[in-house]
Structure formats: C-alpha cells, structure tokens
Amino acid sequence: MSASSPTPMDTGRDQTASPSPAGPQPLPNSVSPPQKTQANGINGSSSPPPQDDAPPRPPPHRVPTNSSAHEVPQPTTDPEAFKAAGNKFFKAKEYGKAIGEYSKAIEADPSSATYRSNRAAAYISANKYAEALEDAKVADELDPNNPKILHRLARVYTSLGRQQEAIETYDRIQPPASLKDKAPAISMLQHIKQAEAAAREGSSGSMIIHALDQAEKGLGTGVTRPRKWALLRGEAYLKMGNVNALGEAQNVAMSLLRQNSQDPEALVLRGRILFAQGENDKAINHFRTALNCDPDFKEALKWLRLVQKLDRMKEEGNAHFKACRYQQAVDVYSEALKVDPTNKMTNSKILHNRALSEIHLKKYSEAIKDAEKALELDPSYTKARKTKAKALGESGNWEEAVQEFKAIAEANPSEPGIAKEIRNAELELKKSKRKDYYKILDVEKDASDNDIKKAYRKLAIVHHPDKNPGDVAAAERFKDIAEAYETLSDAQYV
C-alpha cells in the first residue's frame, strides 16, 4: 500500500506525508513573527508533538440533513374520499357513521352542495329532521333549483308538518314534480284545512280530532306536532267536554307550557280547561298570566271577564237560595246558564242548584227535568241523581225514588248517607200506600198543628152531614176528614 492512499484509520487526519506548498518569502529586513509554543493545559510547558501512531479523534456527531424518513404521514383531506365512505355507511344503514363522513367532506369543502344534500339524506334516515332541514336549505343556497335538493327539502318540510312550504318547494322543481311526490304534502294540507273549518263552523270535536289524526300520519318519526296543530287539538277536546276529553286537552296544554311557560294561547287553553272542570279561581289566574305575557291578547280578556261574570251570578243565586228566596234564585240561575252554553260541567252544577230551588217551590216536574239535564251534561254527577230521586219522591212517586236511590248505591257503594236515604224512601213508599191524610186535609206535610186544626174545622163545616142531608158522599168525606185530623194530631204518627 502506498503512502498516498490512507487507511480507514487515517480518515479525518492531516496528511503529513505530502509536502506543504511553499508560502510567500519574507521581505528583506523584515522581522519574523515569534513562534508560538503549545501548552499542555496543566503547567504551561510545551507539549510534545503528536505521535504518528496515536489513534484519530472521532468525528463530531452530525444530524442528517435529509429527515424525510422520520416524517409522520398526514391524513388525506380528499372530500370525495369522505363522501365515498359516507355513501358506503349510508347503504349499510349506519346513518350515524355516514353523517360523520359527510361532515368531514363538508369541512374539507364547505362550498359543495352535494355533501350537504347527502348529509341531509342521512339525517332524514336517522329521524333528525331539524338538522336535515338546515343542511337542505344550505344546499339549496349553494345550488339553487337543483331538483334533487329541492325534492329532499320538500320532503323535510312535509315531515316537520310545514306542508305549505313543502308545496311551494315542489312548485320550484323543473321539470315539475309528480303528483305522487306532492301527494303527502297536499293530503296533509287538506286535512288541516278540514280541521280548521270544523272548528270555525262549530262541528263536533271528534271531527276535528279525526282530521288532525289524518294530517299527523305524514309527520316524521319522533317529530313533535306543530304548535298550531296542538292548540287546535286542545280546542277540539275542550269542545267534547267529557271528563276523558278534558284530561286529553289538559295533556296538550301542559305539553305546550313545558315548551314555553309564557305562551299566551297555551295559558288561555289551560285556563279554559280549568273553567270547564269547575276550577274557576285557577282559571282566572291563568287568564291573568296570559294578559301579563301579552296585554293585548283579546281572547284572554274575553274569558277572564266571562268567568268573573259567571262567578258573580252563581254567588248571587246561592245567596238567594240560602235566604230562602227560591224564585229569585231560580231566575238568577236561569240567566247564568246563558253565559256559556258550551261549559258542560259548570252548567250541570247550575242546573242542579236550580232543581233544588224548584223542589222548595214544589215545582217537582221542573226539578226532575233540570236534574236530568244536569246528568246529561255530566253523567257522573251523583248529587244531581240524588236530587232527581228526591224530586220524584216529593212528587208522590216514591216507588221510582226508591229505585233511583238503589241505583245510586249500586253504582257508588261508598256514597255517604245513601243507605239512610234508601230507608227513608222505602218508609215513604209504605206510607204512600196508606190514606194520604195531608192530602185529605189539603195541607203540606210540614204543616203545623195549628194549620192542621184550622184545615179540619174548615172542611168539617163544609162536609158535615147536617149541611148535606141525604148526601152519602159528603158523609164519607166527613169521616175521612175526621180520621185524618185524629191521625195527624197524634204525636206518634209518622
């Protein structure tokens, strides 16, 4: 091996075997610079020159300039790849994952209407219609009049119960959308119009409910019925007026108030339900709250004044009844019935109060009719049934009175005092089969001893045999009058 070819151990050392090039010669008379000596770092003495066989110093550590081998690969941001993945999940009915992939595509390219429309389709399939609506609307803004996007937008509107907007969206499509596509929205609109017309025309509540049920078949799964529909349904149940219907109406009103406790229309609906249930004080509070929310809400003011007026009339009638002014009570109750003819529960109570007044006036046939009307309005009104039985008995028909009391006991075994009332009616029935001494003397059953004596003397003079010689009938009547007086004068007579 020649001296000009270094071995591996020579790598990085000075090549002392090769001559150094000659430097420039010093100028004449110039002074050469002093030579520097190397110190060993310990005591300042010169260090010996390095030996030729000493090992070489290791080269300094270097960081590679090319670091491509250590770079982390970046994830792809290709929106089409995300869309393809979303389509795959959509076909597999994994809508949540599809939504996730479409969202990535939208993030990568927010200007694409297609990605928005695809995510709207996934939201529809996942029954997330509010989110689907937002995506479909943005897609329509990004790509106006795209038939596919408009079809999807119209479908979302229909599923949310916004049928008019759905039809208007279908009308934008070119070429025109088919009648088959538009049919659900058109059908929904027709049924809502039927329900509204039935409510305006005073049709039965059941007709309104039927039309609403048909309209709601077009709503998407899990979609809450629109507020307007809910109010219309509550109104229909209120119109039906029976206990179960009022319960359904209450559920509707409470649902609306949970969504917005300051909804004036829902507050009025709830107040009207309470009014129909006889909870007038609570009803008034709801109407006042509605007016606090909207001082110009005329419906709330109308119902507030109506309930207050009816309350005043009822109190006036009750005051007459307690003061034994029964005819005045009847007159006031009659006027109160005109205030709100649709309020079945309240009117049944007023009719019952009028029936009680009529019994005191001995207008038994009128009392029986009023009690029966009260029961028509509220079949569960036990007080009205008992009043009817009492009126039947007082009219002299104790046999039917007993049957009525027994029917009440059978329907309501725990009704307070019903057993005693049955016994009293049965006793009166037995007595009715005997001679009616009160009727013979032409006195009331609550007549005093003095009244009975006066009646006897008056009739005895008229029918005395000396006054009617040869009149056999007069003689028999005189005997009955004497027997009646003797019997009714007996303190033991019951």
Q: Where are the domains of the chain?
A: 79-223, 297-432, 437-489
The answer, yes or no, to whether residue 441 has pLDDT greater than 70, is yes
d(CA 232, CA 249): 10
For 225, the 3-state DSSP assignment is coil
Average pLDDT value for the chain: 86
Q: What are phi and psi of 46, to 5 degrees?
A: -70, 140
From 138, 140, 167, select the one nearest 154 (Cα to Cα). Answer: 167
Burial 117-147 (b: 16+ CB within 10 A, else e): bbbbbbbbebebbebbbebbbbbbebbeebe
Query: Residue 222 gets which letter from DSSP?
Result: T
Work out the pLDDT band at 435, boundaries 50, 70, 90: confident
d(CA 136, CA 131): 9
The CATH number fitting domain 79-223, selected from 1.10.10.10, 3.10.450.200, 1.25.40.10, 1.10.357.10:
1.25.40.10
Count, residues in the chain: 494
Residue 109 host element (H or E): none
E strands, 322-387, are none
d(CA 417, CA 409): 10
Average pLDDT over residues 43-63: 50
Domain 297-432 CATH superfamily: Tetratricopeptide repeat domain (1.25.40.10)
d(CA 233, CA 208): 7
Give one DSSP letter per residue of 25-86, joined into a string: PPPTTPPPPPPPPPB-SSSSPBPPPPPTTSPPPPPPP---S--GGGPPPPPP--HHHHHHHH
The answer, yes or no, to whether residue 88 has pLDDT greater than 90, is yes
For 445, the 3-state DSSP assignment is coil
Q: Give the type of residue at 170.
A: Y
Residue 127 host element (H or E): none
Residue whose entry in the numeric block shows the structure tokens 């004068």: 489
The answer, yes or no, to whether residue 69 has pLDDT greater than 50, is no
Q: Residue 14: what pLDDT?
A: 38
Cα 152 to the center of its chain, rounded Å: 29
pLDDT tens-digit map of 31-49: 444 444 443 333 343 444 4
Residue whose entry in the numeric block shows the structure tokens 């792809």: 76
Q: Give the type of residue at 289.
A: T
User: Which residues share a beta bridge with 394?
Assistant: none
Cα 38 to the center of its chain, rounded Å: 100
pLDDT tens-digit map of 390-419: 999 999 899 999 999 999 999 999 999 999
Q: Give the type of residue at 124.
A: I
pLDDT tens-digit map of 165-206: 999 999 999 999 999 999 999 999 999 999 999 999 988 899
Does the pTM exceed 0.75? no
Q: Residue 40: what pLDDT?
A: 38
The answer, yes or no, to whether residue 11 has pLDDT greater than 50, is no
Contact between 19 and 3 under an 8 Å Cβ cutoff? The reply is no
Instruction: Please check whether the two domains, 79-223 and 437-489, share a CATH topology.
Output: no
Query: Percentage of the chain surpassing pLDDT 70?
Result: 84
Residue whose entry in the numeric block shows the structure tokens 């009680």: 356
CA distances from 471 to 168, 460, 464, 468, 475 (A): 98, 14, 10, 5, 6
Q: Residue 29: what pLDDT?
A: 43
The answer, yes or no, to whether residue 51 has pLDDT greater than 50, is no
pLDDT tens-digit map of 355-379: 999 999 999 999 999 999 999 998 9
- Continuous H helices in 435-471: 437-441, 449-463
d(CA 151, CA 4): 87
The answer, yes or no, to whether residue 24 has pLDDT greater than 80, is no
CA distances from 196 to 193, 204, 210, 237, 355 (A): 5, 12, 12, 14, 38
Residue whose entry in the numeric block shows the structure tokens 């009570």: 329
The CATH number fitting domain 437-489, selected from 3.20.20.70, 1.10.10.10, 1.10.8.100, 1.10.287.110:
1.10.287.110
Q: Which two tokens stand for residue 361?
A: 């006036």
Helices (H) and strands (E) in the chain, counts: 22, 0
- Continuous H helices in 219-263: 227-240, 243-259
Q: Give the type of residue at 302.
A: K
d(CA 121, CA 493): 91
Rg of the chain on CA atoms, in Å: 52
